[in-house]
Amino acid sequence: MIIDRISDTRQKLTCANGKQITLIGTAHVSQGSVDEVIQAIDEMQPDRVCVELDIGRFQAKTENKGWENLNLKTILKENKGFLLLANMALSSYQKRLGQQTGVAPGDEIMMAASIAKEKDIPVSFCDREIQTTFKRAWRLSNFWNKMKLISALISAIFSDEKISNEDIEKLKETNVLQSMLDEMAQELPTIKKVLIDERDQFLATSIYLAPGSNLVAVVGAGHAPGLIANIQRLEEETLSEDLTAISAVPAASKAGKFFSWFIVIALLGIIGIGFFRSGWDQGLSMFLYWFGLNASLTGIAALLSLAHPVTIIVSMLAAPITALNPTIGVGMVAGILEATMRKPRVKDFENVTEDILKFKGWFSNRIIHTLLIFMTTSIFASIGTFVAFPLLINSLR
């Protein structure tokens, strides 16, 4: 494969099979990228335009589908509360960047598809389905990495740091992007692997196999180096064209399930030893101590989150019970109950991406408030369970 660098953001790849790919690396909130996409398609007159977008996201953008189709209770029942919160946080952060620069995230991608349609040029949507990417990232991450991800996204939401157009343009520079990716790889290696490396492979394969001999491919600048490397591997036949492995959501970890049940068995075992060694009174006091600790921490979380009084009471009673059944979390119970007591309103769906950017919005918007209660009760109940272990063991001495 021959690589010709046309500019800092544009490269021409001439493949061994004669296919020519003009690769444009963009910043997703840059007016300069929008202008360059328009110019490149006009100059190259390709027989196909490939974009870093999946068909689902394209339809959502063109049909103006927002959060109104969200079924909050179903998401909580399916244990996807943290995943939804991460999705909302990322969407809101991108929207804030767009408000600062005057360019909506992904405008250059949508412009590429729009121009192609105007010129009657076929479009290939080459990215992996966004929900598959999120689910893989979530499923493959351990608990602490999930908490890191949520913390990083929430921190970004409430950050008042302003980003200039110059800063946006720097995001197209390979050295700047590489340092950012290296930092992500150190902090969140699994997230980087799923969000960047796997998608580099998916995009490269989809673009390489796309029909046509003169292609223009519009992708985020962060994907350009990996995309080129993967196309080279496809040319050398050292990379499979089969994307099945990275297109499926992995099953839940058996180790995670084992650990959850191990905690339950260990907890019951310690209390059981208390009954056996010290009699009924000691065993009962240990059980009540654990019950009270777990319930009180969960109640504090619900109270601090300004949950409905019924949610607070039921969550406290449910916390010790759900702790003994890893398939049901107290956050799920608290979230579903809160969504029942305070049903989301139309304005909550309409304003979710704006409200999540404001501290007040986390309490006034019923969708975000429900997710806040889900998150805090889940975390505090887990703390209660782990804190109880050394205290219960110490009481046996």
The 10s digit of each residue's pLDDT in 334-348 is 999 999 999 988 888
- Residue whose structure tokens are 């009954």: 275
Other CB atoms closer than 10 Å to residue 36's CB: what's the count?
21
Are 167 and 218 within one domain? Answer: yes
Mean pLDDT, range 71-76, rounded to an integer: 84
- Please determine, for residue 100, whether its predicted confidence score (pLDDT) is greater than 70: no
Specify if 240 maps to a domain: no
Please classify residue 16 by burial: count the beta carbons closer than 10 Å to its beta carbon, then call 0-12 exposed, 13-18 middle and 19+ buried. exposed
Are 258 and 226 within one domain? Answer: no
pLDDT range class, residue 62, cuts 50, 70, 90: confident
Specify if 49 maps to a domain: yes
Say how far apart CA 227 and CA 1 lie, in whole Å. 13
The per-residue b/e assignment along 323-352, b for 16 or more CB within 10 angstroms, e otherwise, is beebeebbbbbbbbbbbeebebeeebbebb
- Please determine, for residue 172, whether its predicted confidence score (pLDDT) is greater than 60: no
- Residue whose structure tokens are 């300069």: 32
Are 204 and 272 within one domain? Answer: no
Of the two residues 392 and 175, the one the predictor is more confident about is: 392
Are 274 and 305 within one domain? Answer: yes
Say how far apart CA 370 and CA 362 lie, in whole Å. 9
Are 179 and 93 within one domain? Answer: yes
Nearest Cα residue to 268 out of 326, 318, 334: 326
Q: Are strands 20-26 and 10-14 parallel, antiparallel or unpaired?
A: antiparallel
Number of domains in the chain: 2
Mean pLDDT, range 192-211, rounded to an integer: 93
**Using an 8 Å Cβ cutoff, are 172 and 26 in contact?**
yes
Specify if 243 maps to a domain: no
The percentage of the chain sitting over the pLDDT mark of 90, rounded to a whole number, equals: 32
Question: Which of 143-157, 166-180, 282-296 shows the lowest mean pLDDT across its residues?
Answer: 166-180
Mean pLDDT, range 33-52, rounded to an integer: 91
pLDDT range class, residue 270, cuts 50, 70, 90: confident
Per-chain mean pLDDT for the chain: 82
Domain boundary among the residues 208, 235, 262 is at 235
Are 20 and 123 within one domain? Answer: yes
Are 169 and 308 within one domain? Answer: no
Would you state the pLDDT for residue 381?
Answer: 87
Specify if 101 maps to a domain: yes
Specify if 107 maps to a domain: yes
Mean pLDDT, range 374-397, rounded to an integer: 79
Specify if 246 maps to a domain: no
What's the CA dihedral at 97, 51, 43, 29 to 10 degrees?
0
Are 209 and 339 within one domain? Answer: no
Of the two residues 193 and 325, the one the predictor is more confident about is: 193
pLDDT range class, residue 176, cuts 50, 70, 90: very low
Instruction: Provide the domain limits for residue 175.
Output: 2-235
Specify if 182 maps to a domain: yes
Element at 214 (helix H, strand E)? strand 214-220
Specify if 82 maps to a domain: yes
Are 230 and 268 within one domain? Answer: no
Of the two residues 209 and 134, the one the predictor is more confident about is: 209
Mean pLDDT, range 273-291, rounded to an integer: 75
Are 204 and 76 within one domain? Answer: yes
Are 214 and 258 within one domain? Answer: no
